[in-house]
Structure 1
Amino acid sequence: MSDKTETNKKAPMTDVERLALCQKLDEELDDFINSLEKKRYTDGWPEDRWEEEMDKHPFFMKSVPKDGELSPLAEGLAKLKYDPEENTPLELANSYKEDGNFNFKHKNYRLALLGYTEGIKVRCDDADVNASLYNNRAAAHWYLKNYRSALLDSEKALTFDPKHNKARTRAANSAFEAKKYDTCIDHCQKLLESKNDKEVVELLNKAKKSKMVQERDERKKGRSDAKRNEDKDELIKTIIKRGIKISKCDDEDDIDLSKLEPTLPGAHDAIVHIEDGVLMWPILFLYPEHQMTDFIKGCPENVPLIRQLQQVFPAPWDAEGKYMCNNVNVYYEGYDKMPHIVDPNENLGDILVSKYFELKGGTAAFFILPRGSVIERNYIECHI
């Protein structure tokens, strides 16, 4: 018997045979599909909610779910996109830029700011990407009306790309809104070096006119401030000359307007002032019995105090008619913490320079009490 076995070898298929086999397989597959039960597919995305369902997919998510949790796949994708160990600085910067652009397009400008800021923090070494990040962040600031920040970011973009016309145009507009007219004019002139743009020319002219108005207003303000300082100096000199003692002022050099402003709510505009050389003081009348007060602005120092009392009496709250000019006594509390009776027929200015009188809170305060009453006696006794 021979040790050799005969091997039967098949001849290779011809092109005609191969084509016939493919057609046969296609027909068999068609027959199989047609034999399946006709059934509507119900597991897809509904036509009226396809965008909503799409947003739930990790690849297309636009925001974190309401419950604040991401699926493991979504979390993994986020890590892949933003993980510094998986991405170069340039890739990270572009990812954050894309995130900022997405929010910007949807008018979520504050979220866009965050995206661009994170991209800037990466500090990639691509000048074009950095210029774009700063320019885009400037645009977000612009829509939020943060004009100074928009100007700063636009100018930062120009440090990476001096020929970035969009950044320079935004810098010019932001400077105008921030009332930095010289800066606006400078950017406009640089833009016009390369192209004669009608809108830039209009902005340049507006900036020049606004600068003139601004300079005029500053001159007026300067004159007004100088006049106010002169009035202030004259006022303080007059008070010192009169010899009026001001609370919390150790000496004449310690007197300033802040210590002469009335401390009563709503009375800040009633500060002492001079009219035709006469000091006009705010005064306060206090009625301890009824816990009521009267505040009077601009009382002349050369007029008797009783004239001011005559303006407030009879008082609407005085049903018994006890508070009349001829039956009340007037007191002030001196720096010695004691009550001192006042002759209301004296001029206000003479009372203010009385031995123990001290002006507190920029206002002359007087206590008004019915003469010989229990309330007057109690008032005096509580100070003894």
Structure 2
Amino acid sequence: MRSTYKIRLQRSRRFNFSGTAISAVVVDDVVGHEEMDKHPFFMKSVPENGELSPLAEGLAKLKYDPDENTPLELANNYKEDGNFNFKHKNYRLAVLGYTEGIKVRCDDAEVNASLYNNRAAAHWFLRNYRSALQDSEKALTFDPSHTKARIRAAKSAFEGKKYDKCIEHCEKYLEKNTDKGVTELLNKAKKSKMLKERDERKKNRTEMKMNEQKDELIKTIIERGIKISKCDDEDDIDLSKLEPTLPGAHDAIVHLENGVLMWPILLLYPEYQLTDFVKGCPENAPLIKQLEQLFPAPWDEENKYKCSTINIYFEGYDKMPHIVDPNKNLGHILVSKYFELRGGTAAFFVLPRGSRVERNYIESYI
């Protein structure tokens, strides 16, 4: 059996439905719980299908009709809608409600201050600290004595790492009020500001040192006379042209150690389609020294690759192969005629001397 109860309202009261507040008329009837929930005066939420009855929809339109309400009434209606959603922790919907109220642009400073302050509170719970700060400060333009807006502005500024703003709002609040929490926030902001400034000075010193090292590196490369691929002006080298393009080799860019250029080099073995990558080969060391550390190679089962039985080539910017004397320092090879540094890495082809593989390599350029 359906339970029923009788309700008699002796005066006009306000009820929420579909996230809004409306004025209810006097009701004197006996209805069931289900009927009560469906009545537009007593609805607590929007129906699951998202549709409102014609009566509920009409009442909602009437409530927000600019022809039926003054700007002040509209602003208050939207504020009530925002408050309802805020109370139920629907902060995004609350922001929308307060925003509509702000758009009305009523001429009541108190209502406008409340709308901005309430929207700031919704933004705070959404962790939109920058928006919370902006709205709190806007509320203060309508009511400079709004303590909640002042405190929230200070807290939002602190969370957004705007410590000067936080200090400013805390000090203004404490001019006329005593609050242990605000005093603690002020001290935290001052300490955080000091640490932030220290970190920024450290960062600036590090960046300055890095820029000095980059300038010295580029200056040294220019003095050496090394030709860089895709660098039209030899006296104005772009450091990005020196970054290795090989996967996983970005940290192997050329660098200076005690005035010596340390170059990444790539050794290619076409016969086996294998490579060796050396991160930092000193410019004042013979290329043969690098090969001595790599041979004998584990993949060279026939023992064909020895320092005494190989030839080394580079492909010049004339698109032809050029043989290299491995007993020369790397720095001398890098300034050889036709040599061009590509992808920030010096690349050399290693082939068994007099082999079919070497002949095929040379013939591929003819």
Under TM normalisation by the shorter chain, which class is it? 0.7 to 0.9
Distance 1:263 1:77, change over 3 A: farther
Match of 1:156 in 2: 138
Q: Offset at 1:369? A: 3.6
SS in 2 for 1:73: helix
Question: Displacement of 1:137 after TM fit?
Answer: 2.1
Q: What's the counterpart of residue 36 of structure 1?
A: none
> 1:65-84 CA deviation, whole Å, 9 max, x = no partner?
55444443343333223343
1:125 is paired with a residue whose SS is coil
* SS of the residue 2:281 aligns to: strand
Task: Please state how far the C-alpha of 1:358 moved relative to its aligned partner.
Answer: 1.6
Match of 1:358 in 2: 340
Matched, 1:136 2:118: yes
Q: Which moved more, 1:203-212 or 1:186-195?
A: 203-212
1:41 paired residue number: 2
Partner of residue 329 from structure 1, selected from 311, 316, 333: 311
Q: Kindly provide the amino acid, as one letter, of the partner of residue 214 in structure 1.
A: K
Q: What per-residue deviation string (whole Å, max 9, x for no partner) do you get for residues 175-224 of structure 1? A: 11222211111111100011121111111111111222222222222222
Q: Does 1:265 align with 2:247?
A: yes
> What's the C-alpha RMSD, in Å, of the aligned pairs?
2.9
- Of 125, 142, 152, the residue aligned with 2:107 is 125
Partner of 1:87: 69
User: In 1, distance between residues paired with 2:156 and 2:342?
Assistant: 48
SS at match of 1:331: strand
Confirm whether residue 235 of structure 1 aligns to residue 217 of structure 2: yes
Whole-angstrom distance in 1 between the partners of 2:35 and 2:237: 73
Residue 330 to residue 180, structure 1, CA distance change in 2 (3 Å): same
Larger-gyration structure (1/2): 1
What is the CA-CA distance between 1:171 and the residue it aligns to? 1.1
Q: Which TM-score applies when normalising by structure 2?
A: 0.81
Q: Kindly state the Cα deviation for residue 127 of structure 1 after the two structures are TM-superposed.
A: 1.9
> How many percent of aligned residue pairs carry the same amino acid?
81
Which has a greater percent of helix? 1
Q: CA deviation at 1:283?
A: 2.1
How far 1:322 sits from its partner (Å)? 4.7
Q: Give the distance between the partners of 2:54 and 2:238, measured in 1 at CA.
A: 68
TM-score between the two structures when normalised by the length of structure 1: 0.78
Distance 2:328 2:44 in 1: 80
Cα distance change on mapping 1:186 and 1:292 into 2, 3 Å: same
Structure 1 residue 212 corresponds to structure 2 residue 173:
no
Residue of structure 1 aligned with 2:58, choices 76, 95, 108 = 76
Cα distance between partner residues in 2 of 1:58 and 1:373:
94
Structure 1: gaps of 5 or more residues: 1-39, 45-49
Question: Any runs of at least 4 consecutive aligned residues in structure 1 with deviations exceeding 6 A, and if so which?
Answer: 50-55
Note the 1:259-298 alignment, pairs <5 A.
259-298=241-280
- 8 Å CA contact 2:3–2:33 kept in 1: the answer is no
User: For structure 2, which runs of at least 5 residues remain unmatched after alignment?
Assistant: 6-31
* CA–CA separation in structure 1 for the residues paired with 2:101 and 2:243: 51
**Aligned mates of 1:51, 1:320 — CA distance in 2:** 93
Classify 1:106/1:266 alpha carbon distance in 2 versus 1 (closer, same or farther; 3 Å).
Answer: farther
The answer to whether the Cα contact below 8 Å between 2:150 and 2:169 also exists between their aligned partners in 1 is: yes
2 CA distance for matches of 1:136 and 1:364? 64
> For residues 51 and 345 of structure 1, what CA distance do their matches in structure 2 show?
98
The offset of 1:152, in angstroms, is 1.6
Query: Pick from 96, 100, 103: which aligns with 2:78?
Result: 96
Aligned residues: 340
1:237, distance to aligned residue in structure 2 (A): 0.7
Query: Which whole-Å deviations, capped at 9, do the CAs of 1:268-313 have from their partners, x for residues lacking one?
Result: 3222111111111222233444444333222211122233334444
Query: Following the alignment from structure 2 to structure 1, what is the Cα–Cα distance between the partners of residues 304 and 315?
Result: 22
Match of 1:10 in 2: none
Task: State the AA in 2 paired with 1:160.
Answer: F
CA–CA distance in 1 between the matches of 2:341 and 2:248?
Answer: 19
| 8 Å Cα contact 2:222-2:235 kept in structure 1 | no
C-alpha separation in 2, matches of 1:257 and 1:177: 38
Q: 1:254 aligns with which of 233, 236, 239?
A: 236
